[in-house]
Structure 1
């Protein structure tokens, strides 16, 4: 088939690789003039790592990323709020902290046609026949046998499915940057510190990237979107002083931050769909299911979407049947994460102090209960499927993880 992919983020990159390898002719349209990653770092779960294994880039990802074995959150006084360890899910299980630049480069290297991406081409619409695309200069592209919209949480193509249930911005966002890891005391843990739900500081080890051998941490600071400009106008020093009070070790990691411009802003959306496709148009990644970052599943979901779409097109002879299969398979998995992301967000990003107090008291004990612990760990690893099911990882992939752990 002749396939158009809109957007060259993780979902678009993975879709381009997988569909091209199956013999389809893939054209990618990217609005940026220069190809590159957007964002600091992320945590890949075993489900996402399995897709990288199938793409043939797992070894390179492991070489650049940083193995994460524990997720720990506490209050400034040292009271534990969250403590989850991958070993409780399986002895060979772990997450992988990565810089977005590292994954972007590995996926770009895996697709031989990357130089043919239509750069600086912003697609704004789809014709009623869902076979033609229009860019912001009025030019039409096509016809295509399939249009894969991977244009992110702010997707301009989502509406063309005529299946949008909800599409609203979250009031809270984050500031982020990459900092040298240095002598950080927790090189295999995601560490977070909370002040009620009003403030959250996080540091995630994300390893290196091609061309830069300095191990780094991804730093983030939770902030209401409406306060971004106020924070910038207040200047850097009062904010750094506050971090020094709340978390001295984190403050030392920021010694090279000289200006507010060194930190990027991130905002999020909550988008749910009745339908992920219409005729020859289909959504993947955040375009299909944008959610808050509380569960850290965005990159994992994008990779899994691309793989599921490839598998559905292999299994069905008709495009419409393949897209039905793709949505059925992925929506069953994604829905539980959208549910928990929506309900957990006020516990960590809001001004609801009473709810935050309840979190501090009850979250850790719930995670120690046999039923609660198993559910939390499956949600963490991306293997929860519905409220009661679980996704099975492939035995060959688990052997690859075991071999890596044995090194």
Structure 2
């Protein structure tokens, strides 16, 4: 293991939290800077894939995650007329594996509880500048912090520090976003499935079981509604009644879940970016999470990628005493995995969030048959589960993790 370092992390999202836990456990002195005055989860829920769950197993957090999350064994999408567009089950990948739907608040709480140095979280501190050579940070009040041996920019898809690496190939905002909220699960008919409904590529509704969170034992669903970003204001002015009537027409079962939504402010608004970096580090500054590789949410990999970044950076610092060698090894490993997801998320987005009706019709006709072809289903499942590496490679999962998932499944079966 390398000598202890002083490390600054900018951002207390999933990447920042996981890094704080892992690096503190390796006896590094870690300081986290977060712009929010009261740090907390942003968004409703997400799908943890085997790739991300493997990291949480290595962090000794898998039992807590499984206790709160909801097993997701099938992904299904159709049109209002009943045409199946997507149908995939994890059992076709490995009968011992499945995804876990989880509330952002649950994972945030578990990671916060696992960090042994919470007193070194500097909340309400917006970092606006980095001296990459000296490892110093300047906040919005003009105060300088540091120097640090290493500065990790984990400040999200809209990162203000990304440009300091001086390697931006692409950084653009997607025109489409989404509205999100949590709903009581109650008697939802698909407690182990991600269900989506599509109207061409112009409208998309989704419901994902996300389990419970500490302090709230009510199982919930994460609901999302796709919407162009420039139509958020119009959606608000049109009022909830009109929107609910539209959902009742498109998907009556989803409409029945919305009784608890009475005002528009109960739905959070989300936007997305596409960012590709030619390099992930410069001097003492390195990128992690969405700051390094923001992408469309179509493949649902954001949280999983953030967890994998944190573990890879921890491992690189362990393996390479020299900082530059460690950062190069980290970037090489993660970019080899991320590249295929950037590619597919960029090409899939117009099929699910756009005005391209012809592309959507082709999707409705071809996506499921392509997935039924020899090799097609396996490739799609590896991409969705986060275990695809390059065009032909596979990302190996820890045998101990697979055994833990199998044991959990057997225990649930006996129960």
Q: Could you tell me the TM-score, scaled by structure 2's length?
A: 0.97
State the SS of the aligned residue for 1:336.
helix
Name the counterpart of 2:340. 336
User: What RMSD in Å do the two structures reach over aligned CA positions?
Assistant: 0.6
Name the counterpart of 1:182. 186
Give, in whole Å, the separation in 1 of the partners of 2:371 and 2:134.
46
Name the counterpart of 2:367. 363
1:307-337, Cα deviation, whole Å (9 max, x unpaired): 0000000110100000000000000000000
Which one of the candidate residues 146, 171, 175 is aligned to 1:171? 175
Q: How does 1:118-129 map to 2 (within 5 A)?
A: 118-129=122-133
Name the counterpart of 2:196. 192
Shift of residue 128, structure 1, vs aligned partner: 4.8
- Aligned residues of 2:157 and 2:273 also touching (Cα < 8 A): yes
Give, in whole Å, the separation in 2 of the partners of 1:158 and 1:266.
20
Shift of residue 370, structure 1, vs aligned partner: 1.4
Give, in whole Å, the separation in 2 of the partners of 1:282 and 1:78.
47
1:69 has 2:73 as partner: yes
Shift of residue 112, structure 1, vs aligned partner: 1.8
Q: Could you tell me the TM-score, scaled by structure 1's length?
A: 0.99
Which one of the candidate residues 101, 105, 118 is aligned to 1:101? 105
CA 1:69–1:324 in structure 2 vs 1: closer, same or farther (change >3 Å)?
same
1:79 has 2:83 as partner: yes
Structure 2 residue runs without a partner (length 5+): none
Give, in whole Å, the separation in 1 of the partners of 2:384 and 2:158.
25
- Aligned residues of 1:130 and 1:147 also touching (Cα < 8 A): no
1:1-53, Cα deviation, whole Å (9 max, x unpaired): 00000000000000011111111000000000112100100000001001110
Name the counterpart of 1:242. 246
Name the counterpart of 2:94. 90
1:254 has 2:235 as partner: no
1:202 has 2:206 as partner: yes
Which one of the candidate residues 20, 28, 43 is aligned to 1:24? 28
- Aligned residues of 2:24 and 2:116 also touching (Cα < 8 A): no
- Aligned residues of 2:132 and 2:283 also touching (Cα < 8 A): no
State the SS of the aligned residue for 2:17.
helix
1:353-405, Cα deviation, whole Å (9 max, x unpaired): 00000000000000001121111010011000000000111111111011001
- Aligned residues of 1:197 and 1:351 also touching (Cα < 8 A): yes
Shift of residue 130, structure 1, vs aligned partner: 4.5
Give, in whole Å, the separation in 1 of the partners of 2:242 and 2:39.
35
Name the counterpart of 2:237. 233
Which one of the candidate residues 137, 146, 156 is aligned to 1:152? 156
Name the counterpart of 2:222. 218
Give, in whole Å, the separation in 1 of the partners of 2:142 and 2:319.
36
Give, in whole Å, the separation in 2 of the partners of 1:343 and 1:385.
17
